[in-house]
Structure formats: C-alpha cells, structure tokens
Amino acid sequence: MWYLYMVRCSDSSLYTGIATDVARRFAEHAAQGKQAAKYLRGKGPLALVFAVQAGSRAEASRLEAKVKRLAKVDKEELIKGVESLASLGLM
C-alpha cells in the first residue's frame, strides 16, 4: 500500500510526496541526509501534517501530481480536514 503525505517546512511551505512507509520516509527527510528530498534540506524543523492511503504506486503518483497542482489554500484545507480528496475531485 502506498501513501500520500505532506510535510510542513519551517518557512510554512508544503512538500508533497508518496511512500510505502510514511514514518520511515519522514525520518529520512528530518535527518537531512542523502535520502532526504533536496527541497527539504535546510528547511527544518519539519512537521508531518497529512497522510492518506493512496492505493498502488501508480495511483499514488497520479494523486501526488494532482495535489501538487492544488493552490496552497486548498492544501491547507485538506490538512485541516475542511476539504477531502474526494470533495476536491481528486479521488
């Protein structure tokens, strides 16, 4: 099972990614090592703010691309639970 997740950086920007083990992947990002996404390096402290099951890798990749195209305000509403992926037409 693949998951979609979002990480908030210290500058309030949001990073969206996919992984099979969100806790492990977040730990890699937080460690700021070679396994971390380049975007996140130097932007700590980081906070995992959203995670949801996304199905297969292909489904997760499609969902990730759609979420990345959302406006930041829509991403914030997803995080707060005001909106859902379905209500935004993403699932």
Q: DSSP alpha helices (H): ranges in 1-91?
A: 22-31, 57-68, 72-80
Distance set, CA 5 to CA 28, 49 (Å): 14, 8
Token match 């937080």: residue? 30
* Matching residue, tokens 């297969």: 56
Alpha-carbon distance of 37 to 79, in angstroms, equals: 21
Angstrom CA distances, 79 to 40, 58, 86, stand at 19, 23, 14
Q: What is the pTM of this model?
A: 0.92
Encode pLDDT of 40-57 as tens digits: 988 989 999 999 999 999
Tens of pLDDT, residues 23-33: 999 999 999 88
